[in-house]
Chain A
């Protein structure tokens, strides 16, 4: 039973982040750590979320179609000051070894893993988004700051190994990271867009930086490392096995050195448009000439540099409290190594059968604000594991939803000969 509880607890952990392997594989294990010969674990997840971008607004960017004024105005109305948006897509395969011992300990063994991931995030102020989304009609006589506009996107591959404890799946590992692509766009003060009160002058101040790696290529544009680690421990309260499982972990914490073909493009100038001279029109120039002149005035400087950038790593803590035989209560907090709001989660887990779990959680942070998550896990024949999780269930049903995600995890346990017999 203890193993079962341990397994269930890890299901919950895994379902929240899908960075860990379900402990259900250990349901056939014992304290000797010889319950299996290895576990192949494959995970994939994709998330897109925002504090202000609704599904109704984002959907046309994914499947095509018209972004309606209603959707844009709804997004603007839902913003307070600064809007955040982002997303990620990751896939990872990890193999937990099943040797008898490591470093003389039967409880330790190695794991190896490969992965590929993309993540991006950005932010924009309410006024700047309204300007871009709806135009300057409502901003006559107003200077809209644009220095809030920032965005970053990274893509990378990784390969690594680590040591894990067969009983608790506590682990520490390191990976070599192959940087595929890096893009960062930032506008600095005094970047702004000004429309004079009677709209006879438009002025664009643009000061900023566009940093990007060289074009994607198979052997990468940068190299680095990342660390993954987790410490799982239990506090047995001693009464009706109402123990609490706790987790401290780091995930994807690392840096990439992007190579010297990377480019930093800087721009700092002002473009003022007051219309064409009326006499030129009378002399035969086109009424709409001159509007294409902005590109000619865009003064940029660029230089090739090599630089370090952090991956979007995180630190996290989680706890699972065994309420009774079928119900668990969960809580967690994840903090990111990039400017993003911490993700706080509380949830409940229901186990109708010993090999089946349904979970529900409420969270706030990361790309978005409040969201309602749901997950299901299923252990089939004590050997094949399937799990599906979404961090925001309404994202699939309501056009006003601001986050949608899906995580999928499948694992296979290679049994010991003894077990097969």
Chain B
């Protein structure tokens, strides 16, 4: 009987243990879902670098500030440490000096470093002056230090007092005082009023008022050392003579941040370029542009801008200080298709502009008698303005952009894309998609030219089917990017077409998605 019971138990164990799960449960489902949608206008396609004129034609408009002429280019007060020893004007000793007796009195002009310019007055935006005094005298001292014409009120002084206990050669006593220089005027014309870069000070060292003679034992040639540390001084306003040095400009910049310049043939009309200087600083100058060139990084072609009076030197006249506000003077150079090669310059579709030139200050010398000036918040600016009305003809004009496709899951695979497109632009688009490593996803996908009549947008419909194999999807997923190339052709190149602001492309992107469900 026992053997039968064991047989039954064994059968039970086998039955119950046969349900162990050894691998994940998986299945695939097929979904179709919207991926993206939107209307693309010229404003979108040019990253808002444009405007619409009265006729409705869209203009590409780029305005680029060439880096402003900064105050640090002209002058600055670097961190400076001025140290001076003051000696008791006696010989021999010891001398018992009663309290409140002056032992050293001295006026002093300190030279301030200003990077080669001559300053008569500055207003400091921020920074500090640290005064450090060190006494080697065996007496109770009361040093008083005055910074003449250093104050938040123009013409007032800053007084600094110390109280020092007796010191010795081996163990001097020390005192520190920090002057916050924010919003303080500093007159640098010295005691004469006509110097440059001179900071006037007064020093008086007395024995402490409530001390007795036997407390103050002084020897001749005992000394007190003063240090003046100028730290992080930022100039808000400066007046003086800024010299006649020349400054060189060498700037490179993208013409339109965010807008990808295409390659191919593009015919343009009525493009213009302006170089505008707004002078708001108190010095004369001679400005000369040496070179303006544009490079299309896709083709590698570089075209130098020429024509008009672009490369002629021109003088800019000093502004007038109207008590806190500098007068403004403007200088313009305007180039168009009539006086320059702007059409071929822009036709090269430059995405990088190179600009070189120089500015000479005060070409006629110190004609202001030390009254050049600047306000830190009112600086001279130079601006490059490009205006291209979109009257164009394109032939195989190729726009290439990289789309980010960040896929962090294995649970989904895009198996197809369907693009429903309404195109109102009077040009045909040819679409090509491939991965960064060159795996082709789709090519020769044609978006028909729109039937728009002048500003009246009449779109045509196109549906593009893009199957995506597992191999292609794996490439997209591993690289995280898709390169989209759009080739544009106007109907009868080189005949121009106007691109109106009313033109658009409506795009709806649907994805066929294979979802891989998995249960562990």
Contact B26 A66 (CB under 8 A): yes
Q: Which of A133, A195, A287 is within 8 Å of B405, CB to CB?
A: A287
Contact B30 A277 (CB under 8 A): no
A62-B19, A134-B30, A287-B482 known; A279 and B40 CB under 8 Å? yes
Contacting residues, chain A, for B28 (C-beta < 8 A)? 69
Contact B404 A65 (CB under 8 A): no
Q: For the complex, is A295 an interface residue (Cβ under 8 Å from B)?
A: no
Q: How far is the CA of A200 from the CA of B420 in the complex (A)?
A: 10
Q: For the complex, is A386 an interface residue (Cβ under 8 Å from B)?
A: yes
Q: For the complex, is A286 an interface residue (Cβ under 8 Å from B)?
A: yes
Closest A residue, CB atoms, query B45: A282
Contact B34 A63 (CB under 8 A): no
Stretch in A156-164, A268-276, A352-360 with 4+ CB within 8 Å of B: A268-276
Question: How far apart are A15's CB and chain B's nearest CB, in angstroms?
Answer: 16
Contacting residues, chain B, for A1 (C-beta < 8 A)? none
A278-B507, A386-B8, A408-B12 known; A64 and B403 CB under 8 Å? no
Stretch in A29-37, A135-143, A241-249, A305-313 with 4+ CB within 8 Å of B: A135-143
**Contact residues, A99-140 vs B (CB, 8 A):** 132-137, 140
Q: How far is the CA of A63 from the CA of B519 in the complex (A)?
A: 11
Chain A interface secondary structure, helix, strand, loop or mixed?
mixed
Contact A275 B35 (CB under 8 A): yes
**Contact residues, B452-486 vs A (CB, 8 A):** 482
Contact B22 A198 (CB under 8 A): no
Closest A residue, CB atoms, query B41: A279
Q: For the complex, is B38 an interface residue (Cβ under 8 Å from A)?
A: yes
Proximity bits, A283-314, B CB within 8 Å = 1, else 0: 11111110000000000000000000000000
Q: How far is the CA of A273 from the CA of B31 in the complex (A)?
A: 13
Q: Which of A68, A72, A133, A273 is within 8 Å of B33, CB to CB?
A: A273
A198-B420, A410-B8 known; A281 and B36 CB under 8 Å? yes
Question: How far apart are B40's CB and chain A's nearest CB, in angstroms?
Answer: 6
Contact B34 A286 (CB under 8 A): no
Contacting residues, chain A, for B40 (C-beta < 8 A)? 278-279, 282
Q: Which of A274, A288, A384 has the most CB of B within 10 A?
A: A288
Contact A380 B405 (CB under 8 A): no
Q: Which of A62, A202, A287 is within 8 Å of B21, CB to CB?
A: A62
Q: How far is the CA of A201 from the CA of B37 in the complex (A)?
A: 10
Q: For the complex, is A61 an interface residue (Cβ under 8 Å from B)?
A: yes
Q: How far is the CA of A274 from the CA of B38 in the complex (A)?
A: 10
Contacting residues, chain A, for B24 (C-beta < 8 A)? 64
Q: How far is the CA of A275 from the CA of B509 in the complex (A)?
A: 8
Contact A135 B507 (CB under 8 A): no
Contact A198 B21 (CB under 8 A): no
A66-B26, A282-B44, A287-B482 known; A277 and B5 CB under 8 Å? no
**Contact residues, A385-421 vs B (CB, 8 A):** 386, 406, 408, 410
Q: For the complex, is B170 an interface residue (Cβ under 8 Å from A)?
A: no
Q: Which of A66, A273, A384 is within 8 Å of B27, CB to CB?
A: A66
**Contact residues, B12-26 vs A (CB, 8 A):** 12, 15, 19-26
Contact A289 B406 (CB under 8 A): yes
Q: Which of B12, B21, B25, B401 is within 8 Å of A67, CB to CB?
A: B25
Contacting residues, chain B, for A198 (C-beta < 8 A)? 420, 508, 510
Q: How far is the CA of A274 from the CA of B33 in the complex (A)?
A: 8
Proximity bits, A53-71, B CB within 8 Å = 1, else 0: 0000000111111111100
Q: How far is the CA of A67 from the CA of B40 in the complex (A)?
A: 43
Q: How far is the CA of A123 from the CA of B507 in the complex (A)?
A: 41
Question: How far apart are B466's CB and chain A's nearest CB, in angstroms?
Answer: 13
Contacting residues, chain A, for B37 (C-beta < 8 A)? 200, 274-275, 277-278
Q: For the complex, is B87 an interface residue (Cβ under 8 Å from A)?
A: no
Contacting residues, chain B, for A62 (C-beta < 8 A)? 19, 21
Closest A residue, CB atoms, query B258: A283
Question: How far apart are B410's CB and chain A's nearest CB, in angstroms?
Answer: 13
Q: How far is the CA of A140 from the CA of B507 in the complex (A)?
A: 19
Closest B residue, CB atoms, query A383: B1
Q: How far is the CA of A286 from the CA of B289 in the complex (A)?
A: 43
Contacting residues, chain A, for B1 (C-beta < 8 A)? 380-381, 384
Q: Which of A60, A132, A274, A380 is within 8 Å of B25, CB to CB?
A: A60
Contacting residues, chain B, for A69 (C-beta < 8 A)? 28
Question: How far apart are B450's CB and chain A's nearest CB, in angstroms?
Answer: 18
Contact B30 A281 (CB under 8 A): no
Question: How far apart are A76's CB and chain B's nearest CB, in angstroms?
Answer: 12
Contact A276 B4 (CB under 8 A): no
Contacting residues, chain A, for B36 (C-beta < 8 A)? 275-278, 281, 287
Q: For the complex, is B407 an interface residue (Cβ under 8 Å from A)?
A: yes
Q: Which of A134, A199, A384, A408 is within 8 Å of B34, CB to CB?
A: A199
Closest A residue, CB atoms, query B33: A202
Contacting residues, chain B, for A281 (C-beta < 8 A)? 36, 403-404
Question: How far apart are A71's CB and chain B's nearest CB, in angstroms?
Answer: 9
**Contact residues, B404-432 vs A (CB, 8 A):** 404-407, 420
A199-B510, A380-B4 known; A135 and B25 CB under 8 Å? no
Contact A64 B21 (CB under 8 A): yes
Q: How far is the CA of A408 from the CA of B9 in the complex (A)?
A: 10
Question: How far apart are A6's CB and chain B's nearest CB, in angstroms?
Answer: 24
Contacting residues, chain A, for B446 (C-beta < 8 A)? none
Q: Which of B21, B401, B405, B509 is within 8 Å of A286, CB to CB?
A: B405
Contacting residues, chain B, for A286 (C-beta < 8 A)? 404-406
Contacting residues, chain B, for A199 (C-beta < 8 A)? 32-34, 510
Contacting residues, chain B, for A134 (C-beta < 8 A)? 29-30
A69-B28, A136-B32, A277-B37 known; A282 and B405 CB under 8 Å? no
Question: How far apart are B408's CB and chain A's nearest CB, in angstroms?
Answer: 9
Closest A residue, CB atoms, query B508: A200
Closest B residue, CB atoms, query A69: B28
Contact A137 B34 (CB under 8 A): no
A275-B509, A384-B1 known; A65 and B23 CB under 8 Å? yes
**Contact residues, A306-335 vs B (CB, 8 A):** none
Contact A274 B27 (CB under 8 A): no
A286-B406, A384-B1 known; A278 and B38 CB under 8 Å? yes
Question: How far apart are A53's CB and chain B's nearest CB, in angstroms?
Answer: 13
**Contact residues, A150-172 vs B (CB, 8 A):** none
Q: How far is the CA of A280 from the CA of B20 in the complex (A)?
A: 49
Contact B420 A65 (CB under 8 A): no
Q: How far is the CA of A386 from the CA of B40 in the complex (A)?
A: 78
Contacting residues, chain A, for B407 (C-beta < 8 A)? 288
Q: Which of A64, A66, A274, A282 is within 8 Å of B401, CB to CB?
A: A282
Q: Which of B35, B404, B512 has the most CB of A within 10 A?
A: B35
Question: How far apart are A333's CB and chain B's nearest CB, in angstroms?
Answer: 29
Proximity bits, A195-212, B CB within 8 Å = 1, else 0: 100111110000000000
Contacting residues, chain A, for B8 (C-beta < 8 A)? 386, 410
Q: For the complex, is B385 an interface residue (Cβ under 8 Å from A)?
A: no
Q: How far is the CA of A134 from the CA of B32 in the complex (A)?
A: 11
Contact A287 B404 (CB under 8 A): yes
Q: For the complex, is B229 an interface residue (Cβ under 8 Å from A)?
A: no
Which 9 pairs from chain A and chain B are nearest by CB? A278-B38, A64-B23, A275-B34, A67-B27, A135-B29, A135-B30, A135-B31, A286-B406, A199-B32
- Interface residues of chain B, those whose CB is within 8 Å of chain A, are 1, 4-5, 8, 12, 15, 19-40, 44, 258, 401, 403-407, 420, 482, 507-510, 512, 515, 519
25 A-B pairs in the complex with CB atoms less than 8 angstroms apart: A62-B19, A62-B21, A64-B25, A65-B23, A67-B25, A72-B27, A132-B29, A134-B30, A135-B30, A136-B33, A198-B508, A199-B32, A199-B510, A200-B37, A200-B510, A201-B34, A275-B34, A275-B36, A276-B35, A277-B38, A279-B40, A281-B404, A287-B404, A289-B406, A384-B1
Could you list 18 further interchain pairs (A-B, Cβ under 8 angstroms) beyond the known A64-B25, A198-B510? A61-B25, A63-B21, A64-B23, A65-B23, A65-B25, A66-B25, A67-B25, A136-B32, A137-B31, A200-B34, A200-B420, A202-B34, A273-B33, A275-B34, A275-B509, A287-B405, A288-B406, A380-B5
- Interface residues of chain A, those whose CB is within 8 Å of chain B, are 60-69, 72, 132-137, 140, 195, 198-202, 273-279, 281-289, 380-381, 384, 386, 406, 408, 410
